[in-house]
Structure 1
């Protein structure tokens, strides 16, 4: 199986180094010196990593045969693709490769259907599941333990415990609120006036000042 592990950015310096946008949780494995990577577009590769180093928080790579800034700039926006065994699992428990999570059914802890994972978005702060709902709309689910409580690869599903508002349909909420208001009007009930407590109206009196 082929997976995108990085995207080449701008050239760095004059000796052929390039910045890369890492798209793998294991750059030390996928982007190590000696790794041979396919490319998109295919005409740019394959590329063999010669050296790698971190500079100002960004990974810099140099490829065999790329010796100057002109050659590095020609690779800009090229995707780097690694061959990965579909059965391979990450070393750490409770970690997953993107391809293992794609197309999983998403349900709540109550068994309600939410949708299907169509994309994993890797943000600086956290990862997000992009979930396509049955009506074609999308909802974004943070991939954190407090929300994603179970990943079951055998059953091909992700179980989530979403906080209020994360996946609620706004139209349904508005409709339910309107129905509740109409029911209250038919029953002849109104909300208590602001600042009043119970039937006694105990907050009508103004506070008294202490006498000198």
Structure 2
């Protein structure tokens, strides 16, 4: 199985280290020196971990192929993947961003958008959904709101709370009223 482990962030310092946005729950094992990642959306096809260290809450990684800050800037935004056979395939409650991206989002039988990404956070993850009007909606990825993910059928089912897809829109009368302009 191909697994996205991280997305490369901004350079750190002048020696080519970069910050990474983690998409793994085991960064210590994934960023061992010598680990080779497949790269998407970057100038190189593969990157080899030279070293990794924590700076407060941020993981800094040095790659053998990235010698300085200028080279680090060129790999910014690249996605890092590994091929792994050791993942448990039978975990029904675990999905990866690449599996979710592109799935239709339904409320009942009505398609209300599609998944365009996943933001991982300490407290909970958020699905990034592009609704049918082209607007971005952040949906808490919790069972109460997302009771069904069917990769094979190509959709997820939502039971969204009232206002999830309309709150904070310029044309939302409740948002206008809350802002103090009375919706007029």
Cα offset, 1:148, TM superposition: 1.0
Counterpart of 1:105?
Answer: 104
Whichever structure has more strand as a proportion of its residues is 2
Query: For residues 100 and 29 of structure 1, do their structure 2 counterparts lie closer, same or farther at Cα, with a shift above 3 Å needed?
Result: farther
Comparing 133-142 and 151-160, the one that deviates more: 133-142
Query: For residues 89 and 138 of structure 1, do their structure 2 counterparts lie closer, same or farther at Cα, with a shift above 3 Å needed?
Result: farther
- The separation in 1 between residues aligned to 2:96 and 2:117, in whole angstroms, is 12
- The separation in 2 between residues aligned to 1:92 and 1:25, in whole angstroms, is 15
Counterpart check, 1:21 vs 2:37? no
The DSSP-based 3-state class of the residue aligned with 1:75 is helix
CA contact (8 A) 2:20 2:60 kept: no
Whichever structure has more helix as a proportion of its residues is 1
The DSSP-based 3-state class of the residue aligned with 1:76 is helix
Cα offset, 1:134, TM superposition: 2.8
Counterpart of 1:54?
Answer: 54
Higher CA-based Rg: 1
Counterpart of 1:9?
Answer: 10
Task: State the number of aligned residues.
Answer: 166
CA contact (8 A) 1:146 1:161 kept: yes
Counterpart of 1:189?
Answer: none
Cα offset, 1:64, TM superposition: 2.8
- The separation in 2 between residues aligned to 1:93 and 1:168, in whole angstroms, is 31
**Whose relative contact order is higher, 1 or 2, with alpha carbons under 8 Å and at least 6 apart?**
2
Stretches of structure 2 lacking an aligned partner (at least 5 in a row): 174-184
CA contact (8 A) 1:3 1:84 kept: no
Stretches of structure 1 lacking an aligned partner (at least 5 in a row): 175-212
Cα offset, 1:94, TM superposition: 1.0
Counterpart of 1:34?
Answer: 34
User: TM-score, normalization: structure 1?
Assistant: 0.60
The DSSP-based 3-state class of the residue aligned with 1:144 is coil
CA contact (8 A) 2:42 2:79 kept: no
Cα offset, 1:49, TM superposition: 0.6
- The separation in 2 between residues aligned to 1:47 and 1:173, in whole angstroms, is 46
